[in-house]
A and B are shown apart, each in its own frame.
Chain A
Amino acid sequence: MKRRGLLQALGAGTALAACSREPDMRAPVDYRVGGRVPWINWAGNQSCWPSERIAPQAETELVERLRAAKGVVRAVGAGHSFTAVVPTDDTLIATDLLAGLASVDSNTLQAEVWAGTRLHAMGDLLEPAGQALPNMPDMNYLALGGAMANAAHATGAGFGSMPSYVAGITLATPSGELISCDVRRNPELFQAARVSLGVLGIVTRMRLQNQAPFRLTETDRIEKTEDVLADLANRKARHRHFEFLPLPYSSYSITVSTDVAVAGDADLGEDDPQAAMSLRKVFEALSWIPGGRALYDRVLTTVFGSQATTVRTGRSYEVFPHVRIVRFREMEYSIPADAAVACVREVLQAIRTRNLPVCMPLEVRFIRADGAWMSMFEGRDSCSISVHQYADLDHRAYFGEIEPIFWKYEGRPHWGKLHTLDAPRLAKLYERHWRDFQEIRASVDPQGRMLNPYLKSVLGA
């Protein structure tokens, strides 16, 4: 395995990416051709059998179908959430056909976008209008509505989560009303609807605060984790976007630094989409041997022995995202930004001392505080730390060992990623606005039509 190939494989979140030869996974449900089609999420750990599956082609149709829907109603975009925010055996409303630009304001650099629009379409939609998203997650499969409902985010200490850039929302309520809200009109509903877990109804469109199109250059390096931690404040301040991916059982991390492109930046090529599995093969080949995990560290040290760099440059919406087709399970908590170094060290130490079987890297990102009531980043600059396990392996022992570490640091779990907290514990983490959100939710959906059992458990409704 060549160093550059492995670096490309691991770099920039591509450690979480890419291989067409991943082991087959058992489907969570049976399906026979000609029978009902189940709904299954991306990771394959959530499923349901909706009795009615609707894909409205216009806002008016969505409003009417939502009002008339039977039983528990849930909306779905790309189905990328790991938690059970989507499943319902009653009415599932897919937003795929409610997509595209609704309007553009060139003076304010704002654009109103239909909520079913996938992130991968945003660049081509906005660029002709002279606009671009200021920041984007490291994969672009998500639907805009789902990304907002769960407070999807990217990295960059100067940038908030995706809901931070929402300037206005149009919400279809379960009773069939269509309500517009922003910081002036229905401001409380706006702060609740920016991150809502989809329990207030269905967001049909949102007005995004964008910026002029721009180009980025991303540089990925292999560096000693302790060197990165020692220099973390500088990295966060120096780069428009910075994240790093510590490799368990190794003293190395992949660092990803992204800045506005300058003349002369040269693209050195695409990520290698095969090598997350290469890392797994190395780990599995060595880890069963007595002392094999120390050997794994030495192998990586040899492979990464000298500086290795990969560079991607191009339009912002081409550089932000990476291919992600190796399926996995993920847990992510956001902790106060100033606790990042201590928490990363503790998680890595726990993996090593407890001999946890994991080779997928951690992912450490930085997010500016925002004001959305149920955002993981509400009121505090944050560091998000993610742990992953291949989807065909049991993640529970690993995540179970790591989750209490996040609790020590007052971590808030990502709404779309795996965690074990229930409403009483979550309420303490969202003390400022938990009750405000509950009151808004009860006012727009007094019968709880948007609540499935999972959402009842996390919201206590």
Chain B
Amino acid sequence: MQRPWHASAALLAAVFVASAAQESARPPIALNARQEALLLANCTQCHARPGIGAPLIGDAAAWKERRYQGEDRLLEHVVLGVRGMPPLGYCSACTEDDFRALIRYMAGVEDKN
């Protein structure tokens, strides 16, 4: 039986690296297994696909302006949808904590632990 949270750390790392900008990507905060699965099922559909307007996972330059708005503002955009981004980012399973973790991961927020 294969479940999505068995998606390997290697796959997740590949998503991060492949979609990151050329500038050096810092190690992102860690996601738990559930959040890894939610990321792969939902966020990667747009945030790991170049050329459609969504900031790519780990692309610090693309996320810089968005991070400047503050995490609460980003969270509102995720939940309610904004421009091309659908409400909840497709993730009906996500809690507010999940969304915060996913935003930080995709924006390349450093893991301070």
Contacts and interface: CB of A to CB of B under 8 A. Distances in A.
A18 B53 CA distance: 9
A377 interface: no
Contact of A34 (B2, B84, B96): B96
Contacts of B96: 33-34, 37
A273 B76 contact: no
Given A20-B52, A20-B54, A20-B84, A57 B3 contact: yes
A270 B51 contact: yes
Nearest to B87: A40
B3 A273 contact: no
Nearest to A33: B72
B20 interface: no
Interface in A319-342: 323, 325-327
B37 to A, nearest CB: 6
A364 interface: no
A39 B88 contact: yes
Contacts of A39: 88, 92
Contacts of A308: none
Given A94-B93, A97-B93, A100-B3, A40 B51 contact: no
Interface string A113-127: 010101011000000
A36 B40 CA distance: 24
Contacts of B3: 57-58, 97-100, 114
Dominant secondary structure at the A interface: loop
A263 interface: no
Contacts of A116: 4, 41
A94 B6 CA distance: 18
A273 B92 contact: no
Contacts, number: 129
B51 A120 contact: no
Interface stretch (B21-29, B42-50, B104-112): B42-50
Interface in A96-138: 96-102, 114, 116, 118, 120-121
Contacts of A168: none
Interface residues of B, number: 40
B2 A102 contact: yes
Contacts of A118: 41-42, 45
A76 interface: yes
Q: Chain A interface: which size bin? A: 35 or more
A14 B73 CA distance: 30
A38 interface: yes
Given A37-B96, A40-B80, A141-B90, A18 B52 contact: yes
A100 B76 contact: no
Contact of B4 (A18, A19, A97, A327): A97
A273 B49 CA distance: 12
Contacts of B42: 96, 118
Interface in A143-163: none
A96 B80 contact: no
A102 B3 CA distance: 8
Interface in B71-107: 72, 75-76, 79-88, 90-96, 99
B1 interface: yes
A31 B87 CA distance: 11
Given A19-B53, A24-B82, A37-B95, A96 B2 contact: no
Given A79-B92, A323-B52, A325-B52, A24 B75 contact: no
B34 A97 contact: yes
Contacts of B60: none
Interface of B: 1-6, 34, 37-38, 40-42, 45-46, 49, 51-54, 72, 75-76, 79-88, 90-96, 99
15 contacts: A19-B53, A22-B84, A24-B83, A31-B79, A47-B87, A53-B93, A58-B3, A79-B87, A96-B42, A96-B91, A97-B37, A97-B38, A99-B41, A323-B52, A326-B84
Interface of A: 18-22, 24-25, 27, 29, 31, 33-34, 37-42, 44, 47, 53, 55, 57-58, 76-79, 92, 94-102, 114, 116, 118, 120-121, 141, 270, 273, 323, 325-327
